[in-house]
Structure 1
Amino acid sequence: MGTREPGEVFGPRMTLFADVLSVGLATALMSLPLVTIPASLSTACAVLRGAGEGQPATAGRYFALLRRRLRAGDLAAGVVALAGALLFAADLALAGAGLPGAPVFAVVAAGIGAAALLVGLRACARPESLTDWTAALRTAARDAVQDVGGSALVLLAVATAVLCGWMLPPLAFLAPGPLALALTAVHIRRGVISEN
């Protein structure tokens, strides 16, 4: 793993890093319609998961896999995710309007939003998300509760991606790649812990 192939300039680890960035850029582009975010992120996780099995982790493989899998269920998952995000934003806006009990409501809404985001992201990392979002969400919810360390890692990865995008906006277009890599690593970590 640590040796370079003939003609390879940087070595396999740097190649994987470049592949993660190209998959991240492809994911960002395909997420622009917003309703394709879950399918785009799920596909990125599948491509990066395949890298561990010797398959290429390239933008070309990403687009080929996404083209084959975009279906009504993927778009429905995107609509549900977008509706949830809009409802969450509206709830926080109402809490900020100074209604009675707003601080408590804001904390509860933030907790529910974080839990929903956590389960949604962990579902994107599951292989079942390629064919069955319901099964992926069910298993991801169980994993989120049973694997508290993995859940903390996912939330930390999201916070890092948001912080990088906030500090340097052009990085926001590359953030989905490292985020997908983190989600995939947490999923693989969960499998390794379950086997031991």
Structure 2
Amino acid sequence: MSQRSPFNERNMGKTTDGEEGSKPAGMTRRSLSKGKPARPAAEGVRIVSSKSKGKSVSSRPLTKEERKEKRRAEREEEDQVANITEMVMKQDSRYLSRRRVWWGLLIAGIICIAVSFAVMYAFGTDAKNYDLTTSVGVISTVLLVLSYAIIIAAIVWEFVKIRPIRNESMAKVRGMSAKRRRAVVEANYAAEEQRRAEKAVRKGKK
């Protein structure tokens, strides 16, 4: 950008005796952002200052009924997301296989606990239930420890293998439109009806 010469007559002022001075006679132009409208705004026109931009027009707090309605809508949304998430996961082969493993571990742990207590009450006494010097105490203790280990393994399996699939499915459902969610529910209902019909046919043949 070119720069005006300081020796230009427009950029040099004059002193009272007609000689050139150092003070310019001109006036610096004000910034457009600080300018004011030449005429007042028409009636009904509201001027919004830059400080108020981005702020909500109304800061009125919600009433008790409005808060209750908002919480109710949020609960309904969460319930709908949870139900549809279960439907989506049941269509995932990874979830079905890993869920079967989880059920197997849980049932095995419960069986070990049951057998441990059965051995204690059938062959042991109160004083020798966990006495490792007896065969009954050894069997009961080993089964009880094994049951705890299996149940802990089932919990770890749930967090490591199943929960990521659940989180993935839930995020997918949250991103669905209302139309897409209805389609998932209708497809699940049709699949359930088909399974019930096939089960009824098998029972009729027997």
With structure 1 as the length reference, what TM-score do the two structures score?
0.28
Structure with a larger share of its residues in helix: 1
Higher RCO (C-alpha under 8 Å, 6+ residues apart) = 1
With structure 2 as the length reference, what TM-score do the two structures score?
0.27
